[in-house]
Structure 1
Amino acid sequence: MRLLLVEDTEDVAEAIVASFARRGDAVDHVSTVDAAAETICVQEYDVVILDIMLPDGSGTDVLKALRSARKQTPVLVLTARADVGDRVAALDGGADDYVVKPFDLREIHARVRALARRAGSERAGVVEFGDLVFDPAGRSLDIGGSPVSLTRREFSLLEIMLANRGRVIPKERIFDRMFSFNEEEVGINTVEIHVARLRRKLEGSRVQIRTLRGLGYQLVAEH
């Protein structure tokens, strides 16, 4: 997943970014309303994690900008405000979920996964495709009943491909979902390396990654 975190408390932001990075997710972090507005103009995200109290204004301004631009990106609001009126205002303003600080990072992960599923076609937490059983929450993959170990990048790539299974995914879109702005040293051809490694992990299964030259990749399953 590609996430945007809008949070001005540095230690909180570092903890969130590090926790999602360990999963293999790409997180862009900004700390102001202005920076968030600039970022959402140039980048699409699977989920936005949004603090309300920011140094140059309110996170609700970011929310308004998103919805005014007709972007339906799921938004999880993070704030220290526990008042019911504040929660109602955020949800009525277009937020999809609301968590009060302090929070457990495991809850943030679960809520972000739920929002991403709700925005897509996937409703169940565990994905079954061919002889693959993929559990994003448990970070596990079984092939034909046997566990298969994945690196965080392979995990991220498989998650992207399963979310788009059967469809052709351009290499650029995969790159966009796997890497954040601060990973400038990573080139787009890195995608080919990770695809090759994931292919090896899928060898012997009923699922394969097809390369359609000039178009991208497609995850398919034999019947």
Structure 2
Amino acid sequence: MRILLVEDDLQLAEGLKQSLNREGFIINHAVKGSSAITSIAAGDCDMVILDLGLPDMDGMQVLKSVRDKKCHLPVLILTARDSIDEKVRGLDTGADDYIIKPFDMKELLARLRVIERRLGTAEQSIISVGNVTVDIASHSVSVDNTQVELSKKDYIVLRALMENAGRVVSKDKLESRVYEWGEEIASNAIEVRIHHLRRKLPEGFIKTIHGVGYTIQKS
């Protein structure tokens, strides 16, 4: 899942990026509310983690802008504003969740998993197609009940394809799932990931649809 983190505390943002990256999330970071609004309008994320005390505008304005456009993108407010009135205001303005700083990382991850399930990107913790199984909770992959070691990026590509079994996933869509803003991407980066996966998965499991993308057929 691609998360837009809107946070002007650079130290906190870097810590969050590292923690969420380890859990398989792709994090893009915006410091200003105006940058966040532009990114959201471009469709660059699946959800938003939003601080309220931003340098150029109040985070509530960002949330209101999103909801005024009838955008149903999930927004989780992460803020030091701890009054009940602020929490009620945030939820009434359209936030899907509201977490107060300081927070426990385990709680944040649990709240994100709830949003993932609501989005349908993680309807269940186990995804199986044929003899290949992806365990989202443990970030593990097995073939015929034997665990297969994959790099983080290879795992993300396989998970994206497994979640969309029966549908074609474009190269651009896979790139957006795997790489963050500003990360250098080789022209054949996804092809390399697919090659790595094919070496460890059953023959013909991942099919290339030339000029369109890749697919895994439902069993």
TM-score under structure 1 length normalisation? 0.89
Deviation, 1:29, is 0.4
Looking at secondary structure, tell me which structure has more strand per residue.
1
Root mean square deviation of aligned Cα: 1.9
Out of 153-162 and 129-138, give the one that drifted further. Answer: 129-138
**Structure 1 stretches of at least 4 aligned residues deviating more than 3 Å after TM superposition:** none
Count of paired positions: 219
1:62 aligns with 2:62: yes
Deviations 1:56-108 (A, max 9, x none): 22211111222222221111110112222222221221111121111222332
Deviation, 1:122, is 4.1
Deviations 1:143-171 (A, max 9, x none): 22222212110121122112211101111
1:216 is matched with which residue: 199, 213, 219? 213
Q: Who is 1:200 aligned against?
A: 199
Cα distance in 2, alignment partners of residues 187 and 124 from structure 1: 33
Out of 112-121 and 6-15, give the one that drifted further. Answer: 112-121
Q: What's the secondary structure of 2:186's corresponding residue?
A: coil
Cα distance in 2, alignment partners of residues 114 and 129 from structure 1: 23
1:187 aligns with 2:186: yes
Distance change (3 Å), C-alpha of 1:115 and 1:149 = same
Cα distance in 2, alignment partners of residues 91 and 6 from structure 1: 17
Structure with more relative contact order (C-alpha pairs < 8 Å, separation 6 or more): 1
Query: Which runs of no fewer than 5 residues in structure 1 stay unpaired?
Result: none
Identity of aligned residues (%): 37
Contact 1:208 1:221 in 2 (8 A): no
Contact 2:116 2:123 in 1 (8 A): no
Query: Which runs of no fewer than 5 residues in structure 2 stay unpaired?
Result: none
Cα distance in 1, alignment partners of residues 23 and 188 from structure 2: 21
Deviations 1:168-211 (A, max 9, x none): 1111111122111120x21342011111111222126xx81110
Matched letter for residue 197 of structure 1: H
Distance change (3 Å), C-alpha of 1:106 and 1:132 = farther
